[in-house]
Amino acid sequence: MTTPRDRQERWEQEYLAEWAAKSALSNGRALPENPDIVRTDFQRDRDRILHSKAFRRLKHKTQVFINPIEDHYRTRLTHTLEVSQISRTIARALRLNEDLTEAIALAHDLGHPPFGHAGEEALDAAYRRYDSEAGFKHYDQSLRIVEMLEHRTGDSGPTELDAYPPGLNLTWEVRDGIAHHSKGRADLGDTHALRATTLEGNVVRIADRIAYINHDIDDALRAGILRLESLPKNFIKTLGSTHSERIATMVTDIVYHSENHPMVEMSETIALATDGLKEFLFENIYWDAARGNQEFRKAQHVIEALFSFYMKFPDMMNGTNHHLHLNSKQLSLAVCDFIAGMTDRYAVASFEKHFIPQNMRGIDIIRNVATTDEII
Ligand code: MG
């Protein structure tokens, strides 16, 4: 009997570009599973990511503006949704695999620690102090979450939670895309940067940059740390004067420039203007300006303090003592995973719990934020 999944797989073969990733030809999962009747393997991966706890925690993780109270700032979750939307638009227009693109986009930032890049930098430094060979990168952590830290509780196979190996057992193509989404501060055309093997992974890589450049400008204007007139005029003239014009220019350019070729790239003119805006943001918002910001320093202090605290009192991580038998290297990894999984507000509440003398009200706050066993 032909299943809905069979029909979708046939549709992919007939309709998608010859260089698109086809779900039926996936390199597969680390542990083979019976295929789903309704969904392709990439659709199934997308759903596993969406239903993970790490995905839900993105709503309380910083994008750029730390722990914002005002509701209109982007969080790591809304950033992820914007990346997903832009990725899907590009993938569909280029007849690439939209489901694979969506799965990679939804998972790409799962490993971000609390407090955005301030948190990432502080966690990396704290971790290295206890293990000189280690280090923290959010994209490695995203992969670690889907391969090790999340657990499946449903699907085919055994029903006992303990019977599942750790991780979401995602397809190779999704994991490859997650591992290669990050560009750091490099320009889009940087030929030394590692690329994803699939074009779908490269769609997410470029859509991530399109999303953050544009929404971070929007949020910086909202916060009053950037004025419209101070944006570099030559790049704005090339890309458009409004948020939506700039996204449309970048997306349309990629689609027209890459159509009918096995690539996902901007034209030189638009790539130069996009890279120019990126550099402007790095200089004025992300690093150079942020370092002078006391919220940035406070966030880093919270991460450093929590790291030292849990190294000293591992039983405080989740109220059990199963970390006590770990050696120092293993313990520093467990502490790094624990802190990386925290939301901004969980990190702040943990700092208050461990470092500020508590009255009963303080204890209530941390109970309301989350239970510790939801973190790892
Ligand atoms: Mg991102």
Rg (CA), the chain: 22
Residue 63 or 263, more confident: 263
Ligand 1 centroid – CA 82 distance (Å): 9
Ligand 1 centroid – CA 37 distance (Å): 32
Domain shared by 311 and 180, yes or no: no
Q: How far apart are CA 94 and CA 335, in angstroms?
A: 43
pLDDT of residue 186: 74
Q: Cβ neighbours of residue 37 under 8 Å, at least 6 residues apart? A: 3, 4, 5
Q: How far apart are CA 185 and CA 282, in angstroms?
A: 8
Ligand 1 centroid – CA 92 distance (Å): 20
The residue among 249, 266, 290 that closes a domain is 290
Ligand 1 centroid – CA 286 distance (Å): 14
Tell me: pLDDT of 220 over 70. Answer: yes
pLDDT of residue 376: 44
pLDDT of residue 155: 46
Ligand 1 centroid – CA 20 distance (Å): 23
In three-state form (DSSP H/G/I as H, E/B as E, the rest C), the secondary structure along 248-297 is HHHHHHHHHHHCCCCCCCCCHHHHHHHHHHHHHHHHHHHCCCHHHCHHHH
- In the numeric block, the tokens 């740390």 are attached to 225
For residues 347-364, average pLDDT: 81
Domain shared by 286 and 365, yes or no: no
Percent of the chain with pLDDT over 90: 72
Contact 53, 77 (CB under 8 A): no
Domain shared by 263 and 358, yes or no: no
Give the DSSP letter of residue 157: S
- The structure tokens listed for 202 are 């490269």
Task: State the pLDDT confidence band at 366, using cuts at 50, 70 and 90.
Answer: low
Which secondary-structure segment (H or E) carries 344?
Answer: helix 344-355
Domain shared by 263 and 303, yes or no: no
- The structure tokens listed for 141 are 């952590």
pLDDT of residue 223: 85
% helix, strand, coil for the chain, step of 5: 60, 0, 35
- The structure tokens listed for 9 are 């797989």
Ligand 1 centroid – CA 105 distance (Å): 8
Domain shared by 122 and 252, yes or no: yes
Ligand 1 centroid – CA 65 distance (Å): 14
Domain shared by 109 and 204, yes or no: yes
Q: pLDDT of 73-95, one tens digit each?
A: 999 999 999 999 999 999 999 99
What angle is formed at CA 365 by the lines to CA 363 and CA 371, rounded to 5 degrees?
85
For residues 258-278, average pLDDT: 95
Tell me: pLDDT of 331 over 60. Answer: yes
Taking alpha carbons only, the member of 17, 51, 15, 44 closest to residue 28 is 44
Ligand 1 centroid – CA 138 distance (Å): 10
Domain shared by 244 and 269, yes or no: yes
Ligand 1 centroid – CA 79 distance (Å): 7
Domain shared by 239 and 183, yes or no: yes
The residue among 290, 316, 348 that closes a domain is 290
Q: Cβ neighbours of residue 6 under 8 Å, at least 6 residues apart? A: none
Tell me: pLDDT of 250 over 50. Answer: yes
pLDDT of residue 37: 97
**Which residues are near ligand 1, the ion (C-beta closer than 5 Å)?**
109, 208
For residues 25-50, average pLDDT: 96
Taking alpha carbons only, the member of 118, 138, 35 closest to residue 294 is 118
Ligand 1 centroid – CA 21 distance (Å): 22
User: Where on the phi/psi map is residue 157: left (φ > 0), alpha (ψ -120 to 50), or beta?
Assistant: left
Name the 3-class secondary structure at 184: coil
Ligand 1 centroid – CA 208 distance (Å): 5
Number of structural domains, the chain? 2
Tell me: pLDDT of 273 over 90. Answer: yes
Domain shared by 74 and 14, yes or no: yes
Tell me: pLDDT of 66 over 70. Answer: yes
Tell me: pLDDT of 295 over 90. Answer: no
Tell me: pLDDT of 191 over 80. Answer: no
Ligand 1 centroid – CA 312 distance (Å): 33
The residue among 230, 265, 290 that closes a domain is 290
CATH number of the domain encompassing residue 270: 1.10.3210.10
Q: How many of the other CB atoms lie within 10 Å of CB of 77?
A: 18
DSSP letters for 50-76: HTSHHHHHGGGSBSSSSS--STTS-BH
pLDDT of residue 67: 65
Q: How far apart are CA 223 and CA 205, in angstroms?
A: 27
Ligand 1 centroid – CA 324 distance (Å): 35
Which range has the worst mean pLDDT, 1-5, 239-243, 292-296? 292-296
Task: State the pLDDT confidence band at 371, using cuts at 50, 70 and 90.
Answer: very low
Ligand 1 centroid – CA 106 distance (Å): 9
Q: Cβ neighbours of residue 305 under 8 Å, at least 6 residues apart? A: 351, 354, 355
Q: How far is CA 201 from the centre of its chain?
A: 13
Domain shared by 122 and 264, yes or no: yes
Task: State the pLDDT confidence band at 128, using cuts at 50, 70 and 90.
Answer: very high
pLDDT of residue 141: 96
For residues 297-312, average pLDDT: 95
For residues 204-212, average pLDDT: 96
Q: Calculate the alpha carbon distances from 5 to 11, 33, 102 in Å.
A: 10, 15, 18
Backbone angles phi, psi at 120, to 5 degrees: -65, -45
What pTM was computed for the model? 0.91
Q: How far is CA 181 from the centre of its chain?
A: 9
Ligand 1 centroid – CA 136 distance (Å): 16
pLDDT of residue 270: 97
Domain shared by 277 and 325, yes or no: no
Percent of the chain with pLDDT over 70: 87
pLDDT of residue 369: 54
Task: State the pLDDT confidence band at 11, using cuts at 50, 70 and 90.
Answer: very high
Number of H helices and number of E strands within the chain? 16, 0
Taking alpha carbons only, the member of 283, 281, 296, 309 closest to residue 344 is 296
pLDDT of residue 154: 47
Domain shared by 242 and 339, yes or no: no
Tell me: pLDDT of 363 over 80. Answer: no
Tell me: pLDDT of 307 over 70. Answer: yes
Q: How far apart are the first and last CA of the chain?
A: 42
Q: pLDDT of 132-170, one tens digit each?
A: 999 999 999 999 999 999 987 644 455 555 567 789 999
What angle is formed at CA 323 by the lines to CA 321 and CA 325, rounded to 5 degrees?
100
What residues form DSSP beta bridges with 75?
Answer: 62
Ligand 1 centroid – CA 60 distance (Å): 15
Tell me: pLDDT of 212 over 80. Answer: yes
Contact 61, 76 (CB under 8 A): yes
Residue span of the structural domain in which 197 resides: 4-290
